Amino acid sequence: MKFENEFKKQIVPEWADAYVDYDGLKRLLREISCERQSRVSFGRSKKKPIVNGKCRELTSQPRKCQIIKDIENQVGDVDRSLQNDHLQLSKACSHSKFQEISEIEMAFLRKFDEELIKVNSFYKENVEAVTEEASVLSKQMKTLVALRRKMEVAPLNERHDSHAEVSTIPLSSTFQTPCPSGSVHLDSAVETDANYQHEQKESHWGSELDEVHTEASGNKHVEEVTTMENNQYSQEILKHVKVVDVFSSHKSTSKDICKSSKDDDLDVDQDGRSKIEEQLKKAFAEFYQKLHSLKQYSFMNLSAFARIMSKYEKISSKTAAKSYMEIVDNSYLGSSDEVADLMKMVEINFVKNFSNSNYAEAMKHLRPKTKREKHSVIFSSGFLSGCTVALFVATVLKIASQKLMEREEGTHYMENIFPLYSLFGFVVLHMLMYATDLYFWRRCRVNYPFIFGSKRGTALGWQEVFLLSAGFAVLASASFLANLYLDRDPSTQKYRTEAEKVPLFTTALILLITFCPFNILYKSSRFFFIRCILRCISAPLCKVKFPDYFLADQLTSQVQASRCIVLYICYYGLGEYSRKQNKCHTRGVYNTLSFIIAVIPFWMRFLQCMRRLLEEKDSMHGYNALKYLSTIVAVLIRTACELRKGATWMVLALISSVVAVLVNTYWDIVVDWGLLRKHSKNKYLRDRLLVSNKSVYFAAMVVPS
């Protein structure tokens, strides 16, 4: 694989702007090459005398030596300016005795300076950020060691009826790794090990960066000193740890785990301690992933600089790449070892304190897990898709053979049953679109498991979602064909009553699978979906997270599916199926529920926006709430128009719908997507594009509207 492709593949999307502009530097190199070729062509056209190779080599050799000497004399000056992030390679070259440096080459060197300054500054800022996080994790680890020791020395008969109260360092929200500005968590969710074995060894996590260096290098004397300091720190914490009766305390562990970091105390029993340990394991894993990303960032940028200078040396015929790369190697990017040392210390402490000295088990938690694509999933998806097509063809042939659409009785049957099964069609179509989204997110390297807050290794890929949609389609198609066979076939007339309940049984089966407590059919994803639904319902009462308003947004596009749910309530709840006639529109309950169900998704988004407006004090959330309020008005008027026919309602529905569509379309394209910006680098698009083909964005603007 070419380095350029590998470089683009390794770019962290959240840090894309902080990487060296490899394409821009290569573009300048191509211009330098074209300029030199034009010089050669122009020289030949003047018919200058030809000098043989040896003479040319002899005459150019002193000039090359002088160039190299001039460059090397500037390295010391640039290295001194490097301390303040002022890399002036182009200035050094301009002050040297370069007579062959053209304007394009100077532009290239200035670009090289700018990219090195940018990369060096970004890397330094993030190393400082992770160093601060290391200090926080150090205190947390020492506190946990002290808590373990206190609970282990407690009497056996009091261990189950007592809990420790730690008042020195809050253990609540600080057990979650802080995220300073400029830093990014990648694949932050970790699937923790529930079968944790208690570790009695002390933590040797150093609280200072110099301790990290010495321990990582294996200095035994300093390690002993560090251990003594940790012992003193733990003993200091133990002075503030006391055992109290759990029944005499008015605080509960579940409440304390959710307390703010501003609180001074935290009560922890055996279960609470296990939860804290899991949180700290997750924090260590997130921290390790960030360190791994920084290390990869440094390596890829150093490699890019080396490649660029090698190409420049080849094109310009100047053997100066070594001198240039000395500047890069002496920079903070090339000389800093803090990240590697911190990674080593995270591994050591995780092995000692969380995996019972089992290195392999520790690395399973710390190192990124690449989810393997199972061939069984792909095979099952294809098989179920084929079954869906076969069942669909069988259904069409069954309807055609009995000529249902040509008879009044058959038409009446289809009017009653088909709306019930349209619910499954809407859900299957939505799942297929979601699988398509996941596929393109993966192609564009969007880290959607981190964005949605999924546990590592549990986020569904597009293959799994497609498999579920195919299975769902098979179940719905088989149910419809069974209903058609039992109800309309002359040989099964005695089962006509049971046939009317087939859609209800199918829906009940799907709900049973969704809420199944056993670890089958992607339990973690099912329960994650249920939790998101519950948070959407209780929108104004809980903090709004990204998965919550993303799901609520998805539900706003399923108004027709929600009306099918109302039809189920009428058809089976009010006994319409027993009379084999659908007169739900004449029922007041159905009409009332039609109004309520249709606006619930938009009402949830409205409440979520109001909650975020109160919390974040951002006026954009208020405008977003007004957008959903206009949609609620439009949906109510449109529903009234469908139930109460009339010219007045028709005009009101048209006006409200047009206003809602215009407001929603403008908001989606301009605010949410950030498109249609005149002064952007990509005209009428945003500055940063994940998809190189710009026509995709213009097509996306047209399709939703």
Tokens of 209: 């960066």
Q: Which of 60-74, 256-270, 587-601 has the highest mean pLDDT?
A: 587-601
Long-range contacts of 91-96 (CB under 8 A, 24+ apart): 96/67, 96/70, 96/71
Quick one: tokens of 43?
């020289």
Does residue 495 register a pLDDT over 60? yes
Question: What does the alpha-carbon distance between residue 617 and residue 632 come to, in Å, rounded to a whole number?
Answer: 24
Query: Does residue 140 surpass a pLDDT of 60?
Result: yes
DSSP assignments along 334-398, one per residue: HH--HHHHHHHHHHHHHHHHHSTT-HHHHHHHHS--PPPPPHHHHHHHHHHHHHHHHHHHHHHHH
Q: Is the pLDDT of residue 63 over 80?
A: no
d(CA 145, CA 139): 10
Report whether 659 contacts 634 (CB < 8 A). yes
Q: Rounded distance, CA 243 to CA 191, Å?
A: 32
The answer to whether 476 touches 428, Cβ cutoff 8 Å, is yes
Q: How far apart are CA 476 and CA 208, in angstroms?
A: 61
The pLDDT of residue 680 is 80
Range with the lowest mean pLDDT among 285-299, 322-336, 574-588, 667-681?
Answer: 574-588
Compute how many other C-beta atoms are within 10 angstroms of the C-beta atom of residue 646: 10
Mean pLDDT of all residues belonging to the chain: 75
What pLDDT digit, counting tens, does each position of 179-196 carry? 433 333 333 333 333 333
Q: How far apart are CA 571 and CA 336, in angstroms?
A: 70
Query: Is pLDDT above 80 for 677?
Result: no
| Better-predicted residue by pLDDT, 431 or 356 | 431
In the numeric block, which tokens belong to residue 145?
Answer: 């060691």
Q: What is the mean predicted confidence (pLDDT) over 403-415?
A: 78
For residues 59-95, one letter each, b for 16 or more C-beta atoms within 10 angstroms of the residue's C-beta and e for the rest, the string is eeeeeeeebeebbeebbeebeebbeeeebbbbbbbee
The answer, yes or no, to whether residue 127 has pLDDT greater than 80, is yes
- Dist CA 92 CA 110 (whole Å): 10
- Compute the C-alpha angle 522/527/533, nearest 5°: 130
Evaluate whether 548 touches 536 at the Cβ level (below 8 Å). Answer: yes
The whole-number pLDDT of residue 91 equals 53
CB–CB of 264/170 below 8 Å?
A: yes
Q: Grade residue 162 by pLDDT with cuts at 50, 70 and 90.
A: very low
Q: In the predicted model, is pLDDT for residue 482 greater than 80?
A: yes
* Higher per-residue confidence, 685 vs 381: 381
Q: Given its phi and psi angles, is residue 106 left (phi above 0), alpha (psi -120 to 50 degrees) or beta?
A: alpha
Confidence at residue 654, expressed as pLDDT on a 0 to 100 scale: 92
The C-alpha atoms of residue 466 and residue 381 are separated, in whole angstroms, by 7
> Poorest-confidence range of 270-274, 598-602, 641-645, 669-673?
270-274
H helices present in 169-269, as ranges: 209-216, 220-238, 253-257
Confidence of residue 128 (pLDDT cuts 50, 70, 90): very high
Name beta bridge partners: 243.
164
Going from the C-alpha of 589 to that of each of 418, 565, 593, 596, the distances in angstroms are 21, 13, 6, 11
Higher pLDDT, 446 or 341: 341
Report whether pLDDT(509) > 90: yes
Mean pLDDT of 125-139: 89
546 burial via Cβ count (<10 Å: 0-12, 13-18, 19+) = exposed
State the Cα–Cα distance between residues 316 and 98, nearest whole angstrom. Answer: 12
Does residue 531 have a pLDDT over 90? yes
Taking each helix axis from N to C end, the angle separating 559-568 and 408-443, rounded to the nearest 10 degrees, works out to: 140
Span 103-124, mean pLDDT? 89
Distance CA 428, CA 416 (A): 21
Across 17-21, 139-143, 275-279, least confident range: 275-279
CA distance 323 to 486: 85
The reported pLDDT for the residue numbered 515 is 94
- Whether 123 contacts 263, CB under 8 Å: no
Residue that wins the pLDDT comparison between 177 and 363: 363
Look at residue 354 and tell me whether its pLDDT is greater than 90: no
In this predicted structure, the answer to whether residue 48 has a pLDDT above a threshold of 80 is: no
Tens of pLDDT, residues 553-612: 999 888 888 888 888 888 887 766 655 556 676 777 777 888 888 889 999 999 999 999
Q: What pLDDT score does 175 carry? A: 40
Averaged pLDDT for residues 660-679: 84
Q: Which residue, chain included where needed, has tokens 């939505």? A: 430
Structural contact between residues 240 and 171, judged by C-beta atoms closer than 8 angstroms: no
Count each helix (H run) and each strand (E run) in the chain, helices first.
28, 3
CA atoms within 13 A on the CB side of 693: 5
Pairwise CA distance, residues 280 & 175, whole Å: 5
Local confidence band at 700 (pLDDT 50, 70, 90 cut-offs):
confident
Q: What is the pLDDT of residue 228?
A: 43
Residue 59: is its pLDDT beyond 50?
A: no
Nearest to 124 by CA among 18, 7, 215: 18
Reduce the DSSP state of residue 266 to 3 states and report it.
strand
Q: What is the pLDDT confidence band of residue 79, given thresholds at 50, 70 and 90?
A: very low
Measure the CA–CA gap between 299 and 302, rounded to whole angstroms.
Answer: 5
User: What pLDDT is attached to residue 491?
Assistant: 79
Q: What is the mean pLDDT of residues 514-533?
A: 92
For residue 120 the two structure tokens come to 């060096």
Assign 444 a pLDDT band (cuts: 50, 70, 90).
confident
Percentage above 70 pLDDT, the chain: 71
Q: What is the distance between the alpha carbons of residues 457 and 98, in angstroms, rounded to a whole number?
A: 56
CA 197-198-203 angle, 5° bins:
125
How many CB atoms sit inside 10 A of residue 282's CB?
A: 21
Residue 321 CA from chain centroid, whole number = 39
Lowest average pLDDT, out of 84-93, 416-425, 478-487, 515-524, goes to 84-93
- Is the pLDDT at 221 greater than 60? The verdict is no
| Closest among 605, 614, 583 to 668, alpha carbons compared | 605
Among 44-48, 261-265, 403-407, the minimum mean pLDDT is found in 261-265
CA angle 414, 417, 421 (to 5 degrees): 120
**Maximum pairwise Cα distance, the chain:** 107
All structural domains of the chain with their residue ranges: 3-118+300-328, 125-296+337-366, 375-613
Confidence of residue 60 (pLDDT cuts 50, 70, 90): very low
pLDDT of residue 43: 55
pLDDT over threshold 50, residue 637: yes
Is pLDDT at 231 greater than 80 in this prediction? Answer: no
Radius of gyration of the chain (CA): 34
Output DSSP code: residue 406.
G
Distance in angstroms (rounded) separating the CA atoms of residues 613 and 607: 10
Please answer whether residues 346 and 288 qualify as being in contact, where contact means their C-beta atoms are separated by less than 8 angstroms: yes
CA–CA distance, 697 with 689 (Å, rounded to integer): 9
The answer to whether 584 and 568 are in contact (CB under 8 A) is no
E strand or H helix at 498: helix 496-499
pLDDT at 93: 54
- pLDDT number for residue 68: 42
Highest mean pLDDT among 77-86, 239-248, 316-325, 501-510 belongs to 501-510
Question: Is pLDDT at 204 greater than 70 in this prediction?
Answer: no
> CB-based contacts of 596: which residues, under 8 Å, 6+ apart?
none
